[in-house]
Structure 1
Amino acid sequence: MYLKSILLAFSLFLGATSLWAQEAQATLTLTITGVKSTKGNLCIALYNSKETFLDTKKVFKTVDLPLKGLDLSKIKIADIPYGTYSIAVFVDGNTNKKLDTNFLGIPKEAYGFSAAKLPKFRAPTFEEVAFPVKTKEKHLTITVK
């Protein structure tokens, strides 16, 4: 009887833990403004730390969507654990899966980040464009330039 009580308590604990883990997932809904073409793809990179920010090999989650027919007001990214994130977005007009730049390193394709105000002559830091995810639904508007 004692062993059954322990097993029951343990299974209830595991069930509660897995239920909490499921609840600690969010869905981001993005509205992207400033896109002037339906040619190419919209590339979205979600970063979860300053150590990996803007490192294309260490992106937490990526979304690559064809622009043609895309509703830019309701882009959903699901299964995001609660935490702090930053987003980088660019319009990949030639679908080569990279942000094209000129010889000075200035982007030739439209891009944006998860903050309205950005530094003028450098890329932003993780902290400058970071946002918290603490609820099941998080809405953001990102403007590409």
Structure 2
Amino acid sequence: MTTMTREQAIRSYVEQLSRSELENLLQCMNFYDGSFEESTYYDMDSFDEFMSNYTPSEIARMIHFGEFNPNDDYFRFDAYGNLESFDWQEISDEAESLESDIIDHLVNYYDGDTPWADLDYMVDSDDTAIFNEDFEEVDEDDDDDDDE
């Protein structure tokens, strides 16, 4: 039986996610603790409602100094408060580029929920926990008993 440390199991689990699942995980983590605040995206369909507290001149300034195309599917605020827009491919690419940061955060800092119960269990487990290839925790003592 192949076994993995908690960190190896989390890494393996996340590396097996599809691009859309990775994006879903990134957004879930960000909504929980703001760990990836720069990767918060909003659906373009909610733009009018979302921007209702801003004056037209404020919105014009945010668009002028940002990189915004109303034909894209998503938008966010950059570090300066300007608007940026993205299509799904760009968001997916960003999530993929953050994969190692996502794993590091899950292993070392995160204590919230994820979209998957198996991953939640690994994240919540003790650092010394050992997992099998099915991401189930195994008791090392049981393996020693089998060898006798």
TM-score by length of 2: 0.24
More strand by share: 1
More helix by share: 2
